[in-house]
């Protein structure tokens, strides 16, 4: 389920936008967290049209303060992105923040809650973009919706063997 709350607060002259999603998966919280704790799985959760690639040297040890470097393409434009794990609380939650990249501000909280014999995965993304509300409405928000829909489909396919929908190169 994707839910969007646009322009929910104004901080330091930055308009902060929110993207909140939730997805139930039929595996234990420890199994789901273990999957998310492996940065190599980010490529599996990212649509091919982004040409996402981890460029950090060596496999990072996931903990608060860990840094991850990526390369991707947004509408064909090459982008470098660096994230830092600001909160690491296995198997309940972690938070990554962009320290270098295309956003003025990006903070992505991942939360994992045991529910009905499986795990409810919550994503809470707070972000600010150069160009404000118009750029967000016509470029950023549609891309993020498409990316997170792909991510949900990928997770359903990987963690629910009865889920029949096949992944293409994005939605």
In a domain, 169, yes or no: no
Q: What residues contact 13, with CB distance under 8 A and at least 6 apart?
A: none
CA torsion 84-87-92-96 (nearest 10°) is: -30
CB-based burial label for 32 (10 Å; 0-12, 13-18, 19+): buried
Domain range enclosing 44:
2-159
In a domain, 165, yes or no: no
Residue 147 has pLDDT above 70, yes or no: yes
Return the residue matching tokens 């470029």.
139
Per-residue pLDDT, 12: 58
In a domain, 117, yes or no: yes
Say what percent of the chain tops pLDDT 90.
81
In a domain, 170, yes or no: no
Residue 58: which CATH number?
3.30.530.20
The first and second tokens of residue 66, run together, are 């860990």
Please state the domain count of the chain.
1
Gap between the terminal Cα atoms of the chain: 15
In a domain, 164, yes or no: no
Contact in structure between 79 and 73 (CB atoms under 8 Å): yes
In a domain, 54, yes or no: yes
In a domain, 166, yes or no: no
Nearest to 127 by CA among 23, 3, 2, 11: 11
In a domain, 98, yes or no: yes
Q: Hey, is 164 helix, strand or coil?
A: coil
83-136 pLDDT, tens digit each = 999 999 999 999 999 999 999 999 999 999 999 999 999 999 999 999 999 999
The total of other beta-carbon atoms located within 10 Å of residue 96's CB is 21
pTM, whole model, 2 decimals?
Answer: 0.87
């Amino acid at each position: 389920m994707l839910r969007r709350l646009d322009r929910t607060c104004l901080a330091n002259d930055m308009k902060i936008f929110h993207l909140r999603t939730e997805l139930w998966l039929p595996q234990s919280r420890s199994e789901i967290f273990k999957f998310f704790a492996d940065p190599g799985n980010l490529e599996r959760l990212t649509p091919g049209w982004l040409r996402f690639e981890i460029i950090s040297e060596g496999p990072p040890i996931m903990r608060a303060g860990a840094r991850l470097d990526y390369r991707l393409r947004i509408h064909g434009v090459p982008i470098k992105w660096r994230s830092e794990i600001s909160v690491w609380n296995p198997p309940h939650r972690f938070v990554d923040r962009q320290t270098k990249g295309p956003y003025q501000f990006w903070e992505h909280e991942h939360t994992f809650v045991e529910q009905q014999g499986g795990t409810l995965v919550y994503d809470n993304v707070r972000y600010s973009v150069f160009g404000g509300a118009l750029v967000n409405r016509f470029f950023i928000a549609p891309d993020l919706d498409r990316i997170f829909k792909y991510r949900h489909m990928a997770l359903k396919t990987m963690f629910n063997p009865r889920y029949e929908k096949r992944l293409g190169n994005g939605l």
